Structure 1
Amino acid sequence: MADQAFVTLATNESYARGAMVLGKSLRNHNTTKKLVALVGPHVSEPCQSVLKRIFDEVRVVDVLDSGDTAHLAMMKRPDLGVTFTKLHCWTLTHYSKCVFMDADTLVLSNIDELLEREELSAAPDPGWPDCFNSGVFVFSPSNETYAKLLQHCTEHGSFDGGDQGVLNSFFNTWATADISKHLPFIYNLSSIAIYTYLPAFKQYGGNAKVVHFLGKTKPWSYTFDPKAKQISGSVHEATAHPTFLLDWWTLYSSAVVPLLQEQYGDQPFHSGCVEGESSPFAEALGPQLSSEERKQKWEQGQADYMGMDSFDNIKRKLDTFLK
């Protein structure tokens, strides 16, 4: 189906790299669909060039300078700038159906079957399962829907300040109307949800098809030693399962960094790949936290999974308790 596509959005350089990894992961798992990247005007030429090597279509979208209806809506609701940019995906009317995927997602197996679903299909949000998470959703491009979404934005705003609030209030029957529009959680496995229900992750996590690196700390926030296969960064900010983080960095360092190096040439750029410069991720444990501090970290989705809150430690505690 040449008129079906996977669509992502990169508003800046960091998210552009996320989009590159997402695109590569879709290609590696042999998608037969088109790949589209919407990019903000601040994404550099070298990054756009790399995106063009991976995606079938790269389109610059800028709600501030555009002459379209989003520009008028922006005047009334400047707080929703990035949201308006994301809603541009409905203007891709040369496609009959698409799957939107945030640039902080990673595909773990072929997901072309998602295009058999109808608008608006999405997985539940782990924070409030009667809302869907807008990191992965199936939609049908339509100028009419686009206009209605913009009008909805200007009249009602967003209850969470972003696109998820807008889309949930617009497609407000998702929770109750049609179970076939509820994507299984394996199509949008939230990395911060893993530690809130560990037994379920242990039971079903192996079937995951898409992992979503939710939270403030993204994969590209870390550094990586490709030789030692070690990730460095603040463990207490970590919100992702180490295996998935390693998958992301392995793909980025092997398939994306060479393309970036080619485009940047002699110009310096920070790839995030360093050799032997920083301590291994597993050793980057900070000072011991109090029980109250640990509880707060858990509630914020920031479990110290490489240390105190590792699965083995939790299992050991549970086994002791049950005995």
Structure 2
Amino acid sequence: MGFHYRKVLDKVYDDVRVVDVLDSEDSAHLALMERPELGVTLTKLHCWTLIEYTKCVFMDADTMVLQNIDDLFEREELSAAPDPGWPDCFNSGVFVFQPSIKTYNQLLQLATEKGSFDGGDQGLLNTFFNTWATKDIHKHLPFIYNLSSISIYSYLPAFKAFGANAKVVHFLGKVKPWNYTYDSTTKTVKGDAHDQTLIHPEFLNLWWEIYTSRILTLLTEHGVVKDTSTGLKAEEVTEAVSHMCIAAAAPPPSPPSISSEERRERWEQGQVDYMGADSYDNIKKKLDAYLQ
């Protein structure tokens, strides 16, 4: 972690700690999900060593809090929301836990002896806390505490009915908000038309609004990026902030039209054009027309 970034984190958080990276190096299981980078997620096991606290809530870096969630501290270990891919497993992006060196050592032992069925932390934690699905419903967090962007599109009517109550949104998948391009002039987010992303535009824009209005200011104050008040070109910020692209970009070219049969085949193969013809707005219009 760079010195300047550490200063920014210290400005925002009360306690910032550097931990060793744990990596499952389980390429076989990670390949099943086509996510080789998830091996290092075992690093989150370090959270059980925070024994000066009686109860904690873990949150992945690709989550965004939308409403107050203090009530999570009324829950017990291990409380989590169901995973959209396999609801009998919990998603480990948000969970309530109780720090314990004993639990930490047991998790490390399990990782060493049996490994993780998905190569990452979620498989390991679901194996360790294997009664979550059946023993105590009070440990099942409502989905609004870990709303995955994938589910917004797979069950759009439910999102329309309950989405306003969302407390935490989770940007699951390879493409994250910081992989997009932000047009600071129009305050709009643009992405590659070929990106098969599942991020809802409302949450994507909110993430960038928070970043540009709050975080970028701190990065400037602590020397991570240059002073933007003097007309700094957005491309210079891009060079300073890795992967976070702020630029006035031209809209991507429109993809060639395809037949309804070809479109259906792409849907069946998971190749959905969420940034174009299959965008949230277009899907919503068709659903509304159908329901009427």
The TM-score with structure 2 as length reference comes to 0.82
CA distance in 2, matches of 1:302, 1:228: 29
The residue correspondences of 1:70-109 to structure 2 (distance < 5 A) are: 78-79=25-26, 82-109=40-67
Shift of 1:313: 3.0
Match of 2:201 in 1: 242
Q: Is the 8 A contact 1:158 1:166 kept in 2?
A: yes
Residue pairs, 1:81-160, within 5 angstroms: 82-160=40-118
Alpha-carbon distance, 1:307 to partner: 2.8
Q: Structure 1 residue 259 and structure 2 residue 230: aligned?
A: no
Cross-structure match for 2:250: 279
Displacement of 1:47: 1.4
**Identity within the alignment, %:** 64
Aligned counterpart, 1:164: 122
Is the aligned partner of 1:270 residue 2:270? no
Distance 1:44 1:287 in 2: 44
- Deviations along 1:272-293, one digit per CA (max 9) or x if unpaired, are 35353x124xx56534456576
For structure 1, the 5+ residue unaligned runs are 1-42, 65-73
Match of 1:185 among 118, 143, 152: 143
What amino acid is aligned across from residue 43 of structure 2 in structure 1?
T
CA shift, 1:239, in A, is 1.7
Q: 2:184 aligns with which of 226, 234, 259?
A: 226
Which of 7, 10, 18 is 1:60 aligned to?
Answer: 18
Gaps of 5+ in 2: 27-37, 227-235
- Which amino acid in 2 is paired with 1:274? I
Question: For 1:9-45, what per-residue CA distance to the aligned partner results, in whole angstroms no more than 9, with x for missing partners?
Answer: xxxxxxxxxxxxxxxxxxxxxxxxxxxxxxxxxx222
Query: Normalising by structure 1, what TM-score?
Result: 0.75
CA contact (8 A) 1:213 1:240 kept: yes
CA shift, 1:48, in A, is: 1.5
Match of 1:309 in 2: 278
8 Å contact kept, 1:253–1:273:
no
Deviations along 1:126-146, one digit per CA (max 9) or x if unpaired, are 001000000000000000000
Q: CA deviation at 1:213?
A: 0.3
Instruction: State the aligned residue count.
Output: 267
Which 4+ residue blocks in structure 1 deviate beyond 6 angstroms?
A: 299-302
Residues 127-179 of structure 1, C-alpha deviations (whole Å, 9 max, x = no match)? 01000000000000000000000001111111111000000011000000000
- Structure 2 residue matching 1:211: 3-state secondary structure: strand
Larger proportion of strand: 1
